[in-house]
Structure 1
């Protein structure tokens, strides 16, 4: 099947670029002697997960319990749920999941959260869960202050709670995406890594083993992997990449493995082409950079921005002299690929210009 046979909008994945991205990140981790635990919220795909595990990933990271259940159904045996699980409904599901996943761990940032998980696990019996304390290294979303008394107290509490095993510390250094250039990005990564190493040292000084020091961002992965004291990286976006990763130098054009194929459905004016991919295909996300441009993606290789997106319509700004007709196909590079994937039932897998497979987005919509 050729690309012309695909109806649009379609999420298209270049298999050669995908494989190269997977291999390159595995090589980065291997060369640095750290574990690679990719974040599967980007791809939500059992097929991509298998590529990552076969390349040497120790396991997967997921954002939600529902994602973990899908990957467990697919045979993944080592999962980190990097999200606080709160409430009896989720804890019952967590216990059931722990019975069929040999190595399962969760993230917490409060003693009360850990105590509730412990109570559920202890009541079930025969289960041990790994626990990681989440550290706020500057994003100010979740987590405790680095090397703080509260962080140490959390580690000590987890260490003595029945059914739990304290594994270490983790963070998402998303604040690094505000860096203006490569030097600022490297500095932001180093600052976050230093804070994590100090946190682990403070916990160890209090008598609790802290084996894992885990960093989580594609943009900083190349810096974090080689930082002394870091033991694990959890990048996610790298498998597909997007315009944000291009801007931060963590991807090249050759590494853009995923695009949204769209059809020009109208030429409402000389400088505008309307495509059949709007916010329900591209999302409303801006690029994850400082002072992001107000667009919704751009045409691959040409850079023409999608300057307006309603639910089903995208308006592409064309330069003077551009020759674009109704019926033409345009490949759009998303600003942020992770939420885009969640909008599609499947991805069209392309190799050497031909569609060779369709992979279901197995964990699509698993928000709970």
Structure 2
């Protein structure tokens, strides 16, 4: 692909930075003695999954069955579906997936979900089984049971007794830590969540039930959770690409940004505004995942060889996308700032995960040149 062939808006991925990010997280997990099971809902790309597995990841985490099916098609043999599976259509697909994925696990937080999965697997016979991770609510207030609670232990007993299920352990998403103010508070939030998870596993073990896995799931807290006594696994996702939220939490630096939306300035309606052709349908409407997040839609990226390879200038670095409608992104231009119609900018989303899901393909650059174009294989797999 030539520079002129890249139309905008386009999601551009710097493969050199992706490889460095993948290696750094794998090294962290290896040094701290924990398993790494990256969340693939961030990248949705079999090519990136292969990089992660080759670097030492034990398997992948996915959010939905559809994502699991895509990665199974790509040859991934160890998958955790971190979402409750409810309803006959999903249970039928889960059975089909269990037939072709050697190591498959699911998340549950109720007996109803566990019993439905067990019945579906038992009905087809053949010795099919799946692993089960019980989800614990360490403060996110989304899914999961109270830590170390009677309800948690009761569900562990139920799962352990059900045919075709293997209780593997407990898992959480400590997303509440993203509301921390500063490094010290983030570290405390991570430690508190880890302590609650270890206590939960110990409560299950005290009931005479094996509970080998204690799994934490967040990029911002991964550096604290890895190596925390009793934690056995981390499930970061955003780290492969990073975004403005990770920059804000200190889990990434400018040089760790591996993905950006390249857009073209299409209008200068006033000296204070530059309009680009990437709006909410390219950047999403997500705010930064931080306390008291600013009401913007991303910002112009700092200079990077990868984005320069597709013609993006860095001279507007840090300028925010202050307003956005579906197809228009309005950049706040400071006094004296200059941007000409036709210039290209690389925009860093506040939250990269949903942004990836908006594109059919990513343009891949490496060594300062365009090298490939990858379809976003798991895009839109919401069922």
Q: How much does 1:351 deviate?
A: 1.2
**Secondary structure of 2:220's match?**
coil
User: In the alignment, does 2:363 pair up with 1:348?
Assistant: yes
Note the C-alpha offset of 1:2. 4.8
Deviation digits for residues 321-357 of structure 1, max 9, x if unmatched?
A: 1110100001000100000000001110011221100
CA distance in 1, matches of 2:353, 2:30: 25
1:38 maps to what in 2?
A: 38
Find runs of 4+ consecutive structure 1 residues off by over 2 angstroms: 1-5
In structure 1, stretches of 5+ residues that fail to align are: none
Aligned position for 1:316: 331
Aligned length: 368
- Is the counterpart of residue 306 in structure 1 residue 321 in structure 2? yes
Counterparts of 1:3 and 1:307, CA distance in 2: 28
Matched, 1:367 2:382: yes
Structure 2 equivalent of residue 19 of structure 1: 19
In 2, Cα distance between the equivalents of 1:104 and 1:55? 20
1:89-115 deviation digits (Å, cap 9, x = unpaired): 100000000000000000000011101
Equivalent-residue separation in structure 2 for 1:124 and 1:56 (angstroms): 34
SS of the residue corresponding to residue 24 of structure 1 reads helix
Determine the structure 1 residue equivalent to 2:66. Answer: 66
**Correspondence 1:90 to 2:90:** yes
Task: Determine if contact 1:299/1:333 at 8 Å carries over to the other structure.
Answer: yes
- Could you tell me which residue of structure 2 aligns to residue 334 of structure 1? 349
CA distance in 1, matches of 2:350, 2:162: 43
Q: Deviations over 1:1-37 (max 9, x none)?
A: 4544310000000111100000000000000010000
Task: Specify the alignment match of 2:311 in structure 1.
Answer: none
Cα distance in 1 for partners of 2:245, 2:116 equals: 38
Q: 1:80 aligned to 2:56?
A: no
Measured in 1, the distance between the counterparts of 2:179 and 2:42 equals 20
1:355 is paired with a residue of what secondary structure? Answer: strand
The equivalences for 1:169-318 within 5 A come to: 169-301=170-302, 302-318=317-333
Alignment TM-score, normalising by the size of structure 1? 0.99
3-state SS, counterpart of residue 90 of structure 2: helix
TM-score normalized by structure 2?
0.95
Give the distance between the partners of 1:296 and 1:366, measured in 2 at CA.
Answer: 24
Unaligned 5+ runs, structure 2: 303-316
Q: Which moved more, 1:272-281 or 1:316-325?
A: 316-325
Helix, strand or coil: the match of 1:99? helix
Looking at structure 2, the residues matched to 197 and 85 of structure 1 have their Cα atoms a distance apart, in angstroms, of 25
Q: Does structure 2 conserve the Cα–Cα contact (< 8 Å) formed by 1:344 and 1:361?
A: yes
Q: Residue 25 of structure 2: SS of its match in structure 1? A: helix
Distance 2:3 2:192 in 1: 45
Distance 1:198 1:130, change over 3 A: same
What RMSD in Å do the two structures reach over aligned CA positions? 0.7
Contact persistence 1:2–1:353 (CA under 8 A): no
Instruction: Render the CA deviation track for 1:287-326: whole Å, top value 9, x for unaligned.
Output: 0000000000000121100011100000000111111010
Partner of 2:142: 141
What is the rounded CA distance, in whole Å, between the counterparts of 2:332 and 2:253 in structure 1? Answer: 24
